[in-house]
Structure 1
């Protein structure tokens, strides 16, 4: 049994941004040498998340529109009265209630088990941020 962990550095440029990290994760998978096992992706942030979904530009626009409608930035939120880091970001924390901080994918015969239309996204809800990190933790056999 082998374990390999990588930290994927990311920077975001928009208040809400969907970054496709699929190819970066696949490259780290190739480097890991894991043929059968699992990959756990973890965002160690409270306003940025991991998601599996379809990569289609109009759908991604719909996702952004939906999030903004669901939890408007200018809502009357108590967290914004005394924000921890000076950012009025209660809306980002509330959007995060509907997302996952981690995703786990099987690895079979050297391939990440993603569906035909699935991509791996890092979703920023409180950007722009010059430094974000995604942890990729691979566990399994190299045979």
Structure 2
């Protein structure tokens, strides 16, 4: 099993990112009355959602070889690109019935992104014993 994961790490990471991001896009596009009622604080939901996105996105950048500038600056590029996406996501929610975009939501998204990217480095450093930061 471990050999399979190592051998297919790029595919697994990319597919996980695509699948998760699609779920996130769909979830943020639903009118509020169609949202599943999860009993978490709204800001915690934002933080957790973007933590996972930050983790998967940064891992994908670290595993890819096509864009060296992104890979060499994965920490900052992951954070900046996802912060831009989070702004666009909050703006798009203004047009969804019963939803709104807010600076506080974006702030929670950003904290989740930063923690997710840091989480990637902690795990990768632990597994590979290679200092990435």
Taking structure 2 as the reference length, the TM-score comes to: 0.31
More helix by share: 2
More strand by share: 1
Taking structure 1 as the reference length, the TM-score comes to: 0.29
